[in-house]
Structure 1
Amino acid sequence: MDLERVGRYRVLRRIGSGGMGEVYEAEDTKLGRHVALKFLSSLLSSDSQALERFQREARAASSLNHPNVCVIYEIEAHEGQPFIAMELLQGDTFRQKITGAVLAVDEVLDLAIQVCDGLDAAHSKNVIHRDLKPENLFVTDRQQAKILDFGLAKFAFDAAAGPDSPTVAPSQLSTPGSTLGTLAYMSPEQVLGKALDVRTDLYSFGAVLYEMVTGTRLVQSQVTGAIFDDILHKPSASILSNNPKLPKDLDRLISKALEKDRELRYQSAAELRSDLKRLKRDLSSRASSGNIAARPSHKRPLTAIAVLPFENANADPSYEYLSDGLTETIIDELSQIPKLSVVARSTVFRYKNRELDPQAVGKELNVGAVITGRLVRRAEMLTVAVEMVDTANGLRLWGERYNRRAEDLLAIEDDIGRHITERLRSSLTEKSTSRGRRRPTTRNTAAYEAYLKGRYYWNKRSETELRKGAEYFEQAIALDPAYALAYAGLADFYIVLGWYSYVRPQDSYPRAKAAALKALEIDPNLAESHTAMGFISLLYDWDTETAEKYFRRALELNPKYAPGHHWYSDFLAANLRLEEARNQARCALELDPLSLIINWNMGWMLYFSRQYEPAVAQFKSTLELDPNYLVTYLFLGQAYVQQGLYDEAQAAFQRAADLSQRAAVSLALLGHCQALAKRTEDASKVLAELQARAQNSYVSPAFFAWIHLGFGSHDEGFKWLDKALAERSNWLVWLNADPKYDPLRSDERFARLLDKVGFARRSTGTS
């Protein structure tokens, strides 16, 4: 068989071989990416059972789309030899990683959580792997776990029709692809030939975990009958018998995974993952205290804290800006303390205007203490009551009441931060409780109040409230021309104004740039302004090198700045560094788990990675936080479009249009979907509506291009994309990454467009 050229693939080298066949590295000449080609051996290609197993692997794995499952691109045949084209991975199998070595517990937990993520995705699609072992688990050079080889996978609902054929039937013991190594990781029900469900994978993975932390195989016997007897009857050895220093909770976890009675075992990968995450958290907390043993709650180190939204106890809601602003300022102040984890604003503000039990919220947020506050303003007097509550027992750790004149607001804020820091000193080292570099502020109380009002309205995100916020930022600047944060706020306003295409790019981004540069002139170490400059350099200047320098500097200055990780992920996605983009998005999500925009952004990165089902799941998860979050519907609809689910997509876009008073972007995506679905009359009406609107207000040319592309009118689409290019539309930054442009990628006009935006034509794979 000639293997220099296989269809559109150019074979580069042989990677290895196994019982089922051989694997080669190849270049996909059409998409410009490197892939792995797995060929069924010529000896087995005529074996109907082997061929079915081979095809089953392709069907099972290709039905999944998850970052912890090796991606299957297609199954084809070359000169009569079936092959699978799959994701090319760089790294080691778990077998290679654990041979002659025992992994650290924290590394085991990190990898195990990822494997559970992949298993949960497979099981949710009714796919059981049935052959989990160290050889079928992989860790990339970037420490990402991948599940491989679904050659024995079976859809769970098949099992409902009757018991599976025993995987260890005598006829299989001598066939390629079935080894004693495979047998050693089988569940008891698999050995007995019973109908299998997802719990068989959890047992097998428990056996892998056992080996990862002890360095020895769970089943030591080498003879088939003895292996079966051990699996069915021999109690599993404790990991502590190999290493007494291992955590007892880890021993209990692995023992539960290895229960011979599957009713007593973990019932789902999600349940196992929760225990792994809980153990990782607890071990991390104990390690930071330097003492694994439990401590009395009043001496437990407060390494994580949440500041809940301060209550505005005034009858006048116009003082909301004051209570919200004070909350944000204290969060920012405490975030400067090294080694103290402070829950981000977006997450804690999910609890605003709710009756709260601070202890319950603290446990929900997984922090050691919660700070609550209440603010009352009467004429020129301001009263702020603050207290800190221990999450473990609900006891009051500290409290203070501040009665000052309203003009002393800055002093109150400073005192609160200093008193909380002093209270934390008993938990953290002296060095750790230094408040770090103070955030640039103003001594002008009126300027500070104007800034707080600006942020309050900016967070609302509608065009009307954004513009109101900008007025307050400008007011703060007028009152104190050296107020760096006010310039940073103004830059953020213009960025969002341009991002949502409320105005022409040239009317927003140059002004954003001027404000951000002024903020950096006043304070070169302001992470927010470095992040803003990174985004402006990406969206308007189309200067990727400069953009990345700004993003990296922002995260050097403040590694805990969730929006910095969020916006950097967008930059990485635009440059098709998709795995890095997903990692940055996850980092932002860990820092700010209840932020709507950051939850949405995680789905967006999955969408760009062509992982549409996980993207849909993430968007739906975001909508559980807020069913009316507009931007989520826009991108949920796009994920549905890429799956060909046009009815679902149209419903999502229609909901976005309803929520936004028929914003142009929602109409453009609706029209694009309708055109693709051959609902020509509906799409034409939407196009006409946008054309009429463009007579009186700004509509991005990119929006017209989308609808024409939906119609298949590429010439008209390119005409509008050229207009978008002329005005430096931020939507063109996503040309390389956005799947909606896939039909244009073979057109030379698209290559020229990319070149003008500053991007080379690249593969759009799921790297």
Structure 2
Amino acid sequence: MTNPKSIAVLPFVNTSPGKENEFFCDGITEEIINALAKIEQLKVTSRTSSFFFKGKNRPVAEIGRELGVANLLEGSLRVSGDRLRITAQLINVSDDSHFWSERWDRKLEDLFAIQDEISLRIADKLREQFGHLDIADQLVQAPTGKVEAYRHYLKGKSLFNRWNPEDTHQAIGYFEKALQMDPDLIDAHTGLADAYSFLAVAGFAPRELAWNKAMESLRRASEIDPQNAALNYMLANQSFFTEADFAGAMRFAQQAIASKPTYAEGHQFLAFLFMLKDDLKKAGEHLNYARSIDPLNPETKFYQAYYLYRSQAFAEAACLLEELLAANAKNLPALITLIYVLLKSGAYDRAEALIVDRNPDGIMPDEKLGLTCLLRIMQGATEKYPALLAELETNASVDSSFQAHAYLFLVYCTLRQEDQAFSVLEKLFQKQSSILLLAFADPLAEYLRGSSRFEAYRQRIYTDIEPTPPSAKRNSSELSESEADHCLRKLADFMAAESPFLDPSLSLRSLASQLEMHPNQLSWLLNEKKGRNFNAFVNGFRVAHFQKLLADPGNANISLIGLAYESGFNSKTVFNTVFKKETGMTPREFQKNSGLSDE
């Protein structure tokens, strides 16, 4: 059953003239996603999976099913000069009903306040409808005091998300413009670091120059907020892939999710690290969480496939990897992992088709050489692999050839040459080879696990790290038993004396204000002590008031819906649904059974 406290925020529609504010819509959508994700009891689909549906006209039920959520938020944005208009509406996936909508017309300078207001209103409506949520007084903190700097940042991020060198260079320009206006805009610093590291790794810029620029941006971001989630995620990747520092990568990744517990990328990377460490239980926990909030992200699917490979569920891994390659034939990690799966499964003809015949773009020469050598050894082609092995050994004699090191290690493991394998493994420490770090406990190196030296190397590589504790948060809904009893009496007296339920616009926040309580406390009190969400609680009083009015002969000439409106209902559909749920009868049936009708 789908969790009723779950939501996906679909990309807001740009209703401005022209397309120039498309990036602004995306930025506001993402900010609302991030804001709602701060609510611990609410499951919020992450950006990648929500944006999968951008520009696609898909039925609500289908979207909800694919994302595993009970509610969707749709919205639109129109920018005109220094004014903006935002509309938003909540949809119940099960019956495609819209149970809340609102519109805001504000000045552009009020952008962050509007984002906070929208996020709080959405959270309030979900809480009133589906049960307790502990909601902070503010969900959106302004990242900068300068909206124009934020617009430059959003434009840069929109360009970078296209993942090509031309747009990335343009994105860098926008990030730099943002920082000229606000040097402390940390998101622009992490954006620059991401952009430069992409150019360095993909070979679209001089590696050393681009990487130094990335590291300088990370250093500046660290000075602003060392606990920033995106910063620590990038530092985790840098520690692993450039320094082969497993302990450092683990420490930074744990800090990323300690700072932002709903950070899907952080959970994916932690799952990956725990897979390498053979802690499949913890890997599965982080992976399952990432899958629950980001199910359509290709990276999530790849990590799932890699988890299946490390678990030696080769058939299931192969299916998922083939699916990824069908969607993107240039997905190199999926291709390489699929070849590993095929080699372990003995599907040598299919592996040969991928390694030799396909000759895929992007695969490094030493990687192809190493894969071919592994294939020939496993095929038992004793006349073919010695020349390949000799070439691999020659290439591995060059200290910078990390691909050759890693495959030579796997080849020695396959040939059961233990001493040679451990000799190559030493280069992991001498040359900080992350590729060797990946290969160490790979299923293709399974033979080495029987060696007495394996555990010593394992402990040397996978230094234990204490988890970073999450920040202590004050629970604003917490009440002692005596406080709860006092508040329940106060609530009962107020409902009887003031009849606030007669106001159709009554909200949980407005009732809490009248009671001089925090909204979180009232929400907790209703759900935990009364066993009802806010809407059910208030509508129960409205139904009772309706029945009282119906029994009064003085109201004989007033229609049933008229009496419903006088009881605080503002919708005929809601009235009929609630009344049937409360009494088991329709209003007309109740009237007849009570002898209050002449019919």
Task: Map residues 39-78 of structure 1 onto 2, 5 A cutoff.
Answer: none
TM-score by length of 2: 0.62
Shift of residue 597, structure 1, vs aligned partner: 0.3
Which residue is equivalent to 1:581? 283
Which of 527, 530, 536 is residue 238 of structure 2 equivalent to? 536
Task: Indicate whether 1:420 and 2:420 are aligned.
Answer: no
Task: Indicate whether 1:733 and 2:437 are aligned.
Answer: yes
Kept in 2, the 8 Å contact 1:683–1:707? The answer is no
Larger relative contact order (Cα-Cα within 8 Å, sequence gap ≥ 6)? 2
Alignment CA distance shift 1:636-1:484 (3 Å): same
Counterpart Cα distance in 1 of 2:272 and 2:147:
36
Secondary structure of 1:426's counterpart equals helix
Task: Indicate whether 1:675 and 2:373 are aligned.
Answer: yes
Which residue is equivalent to 1:22? none
Query: Residue type of the partner of 1:599?
Result: K
Task: Indicate whether 1:523 and 2:221 are aligned.
Answer: no
Query: Residue type of the partner of 2:270?
Result: Y
Query: Residue type of the partner of 1:365?
Result: L
Give the structure with the larger helix fraction: 2
Counterpart Cα distance in 2 of 1:329 and 1:642:
44
Task: Map residues 404-483 of structure 1 onto 2, 5 A cutoff.
Answer: 409-427=111-129, 432-434=134-136, 438-439=140-141, 441-483=143-185
Counterpart Cα distance in 2 of 1:752 and 1:466:
44
Secondary structure of 1:427's counterpart equals helix
Secondary structure of 1:400's counterpart equals strand
Secondary structure of 1:677's counterpart equals helix
Shift of residue 331, structure 1, vs aligned partner: 0.6
Counterpart Cα distance in 2 of 1:672 and 1:615:
22
Shift of residue 472, structure 1, vs aligned partner: 3.4
Shift of residue 441, structure 1, vs aligned partner: 1.0
Deviations 1:54-108 (A, max 9, x none): xxxxxxxxxxxxxxxxxxxxxxxxxxxxxxxxxxxxxxxxxxxxxxxxxxxxxxx
Query: Residue type of the partner of 1:733?
Result: L
Query: Residue type of the partner of 1:675?
Result: C
Shift of residue 352, structure 1, vs aligned partner: 1.8
Kept in 2, the 8 Å contact 1:604–1:635? The answer is yes
Kept in 1, the 8 Å contact 2:314–2:341? The answer is yes
Which residue is equivalent to 2:569? none
Gaps of 5+ in 1: 1-277, 286-301, 693-698, 761-767
Task: Map residues 4-43 of structure 1 onto 2, 5 A cutoff.
Answer: none
Which residue is equivalent to 2:38? 336
Counterpart Cα distance in 1 of 2:410 and 2:259:
44
Deviations 1:575-620 (A, max 9, x none): 3323322332222112211111011011112223333223223323
Secondary structure of 2:261's counterpart equals coil
Which residue is equivalent to 2:515? none
Kept in 1, the 8 Å contact 2:11–2:29? The answer is yes
Alignment CA distance shift 1:681-1:476 (3 Å): farther
Query: Residue type of the partner of 2:374?
Result: L
Gaps of 5+ in 2: 465-599
Deviations 1:683-707 (A, max 9, x none): 999x99xx99xxxxxx972234456
Counterpart Cα distance in 2 of 1:565 and 1:641:
29
Counterpart Cα distance in 1 of 2:132 and 2:284:
36
Which residue is equivalent to 1:55? none
Kept in 2, the 8 Å contact 1:504–1:700? The answer is no
- Root mean square deviation, CA, Å: 4.7
Alignment CA distance shift 1:543-1:634 (3 Å): closer
Which residue is equivalent to 2:401? 701
Secondary structure of 1:634's counterpart equals helix
Query: Residue type of the partner of 1:735?
Result: A
Alignment CA distance shift 1:368-1:739 (3 Å): closer
Task: Indicate whether 1:551 and 2:250 are aligned.
Answer: no
Alignment CA distance shift 1:359-1:745 (3 Å): closer
Which of 289, 303, 310 is residue 601 of structure 1 equivalent to? 303
Shift of residue 751, structure 1, vs aligned partner: 10
Which residue is equivalent to 1:663? 362
Counterpart Cα distance in 2 of 1:552 and 1:328:
23
Counterpart Cα distance in 1 of 2:387 and 2:169:
33
What percent of counterpart residues are identical? 25
Deviations 1:629-674 (A, max 9, x none): 453223222222332323323445689965xxx2244x55444333
Counterpart Cα distance in 2 of 1:723 and 1:497:
27
Counterpart Cα distance in 2 of 1:340 and 1:668:
47
How many pairs align?
A: 453
Kept in 1, the 8 Å contact 2:15–2:76? The answer is yes
Secondary structure of 1:370's counterpart equals strand
Give the structure with the larger strand fraction: 1
Counterpart Cα distance in 1 of 2:430 and 2:133:
53
Kept in 1, the 8 Å contact 2:32–2:115? The answer is yes
Alignment CA distance shift 1:669-1:742 (3 Å): farther
Counterpart Cα distance in 1 of 2:410 and 2:40:
51
Secondary structure of 2:436's counterpart equals helix
Alignment CA distance shift 1:404-1:607 (3 Å): same
Secondary structure of 2:102's counterpart equals strand
Query: Residue type of the partner of 2:256?
Result: A
Kept in 1, the 8 Å contact 2:409–2:425? The answer is no
Counterpart Cα distance in 2 of 1:378 and 1:634:
50
Which of 324, 345, 348 is residue 643 of structure 1 equivalent to? 345
Shift of residue 305, structure 1, vs aligned partner: 1.0
Kept in 2, the 8 Å contact 1:527–1:558? The answer is yes
Task: Indicate whether 1:305 and 2:7 are aligned.
Answer: yes
Secondary structure of 1:675's counterpart equals helix
Shift of residue 445, structure 1, vs aligned partner: 1.9
Kept in 1, the 8 Å contact 2:405–2:436? The answer is no
Secondary structure of 2:262's counterpart equals coil
Secondary structure of 2:265's counterpart equals helix
Deviations 1:331-382 (A, max 9, x none): 1111112311111112212212211333442344332321112344566664
Which residue is equivalent to 1:374? 76
Alignment CA distance shift 1:655-1:349 (3 Å): farther
Task: Indicate whether 1:572 and 2:274 are aligned.
Answer: yes
Which of 326, 333, 352 is residue 28 of structure 2 equivalent to? 326
Shift of residue 463, structure 1, vs aligned partner: 4.9
Deviations 1:519-557 (A, max 9, x none): 343235433333333333333444444443333333333
Task: Map residues 496-507 of structure 1 onto 2, 5 A cutoff.
Answer: none
Kept in 1, the 8 Å contact 2:406–2:439? The answer is no
Shift of residue 308, structure 1, vs aligned partner: 0.9
Task: Indicate whether 1:617 and 2:319 are aligned.
Answer: yes
Kept in 2, the 8 Å contact 1:702–1:731? The answer is yes
Deviations 1:119-162 (A, max 9, x none): xxxxxxxxxxxxxxxxxxxxxxxxxxxxxxxxxxxxxxxxxxxx
Which of 355, 359, 376 is residue 57 of structure 2 equivalent to? 355
Counterpart Cα distance in 2 of 1:406 and 1:469:
23
Deviations 1:368-416 (A, max 9, x none): 3211123445666644433222223222222334455656544543443
Counterpart Cα distance in 2 of 1:347 and 1:683:
47
Kept in 1, the 8 Å contact 2:115–2:140? The answer is no
Task: Indicate whether 1:389 and 2:91 are aligned.
Answer: yes
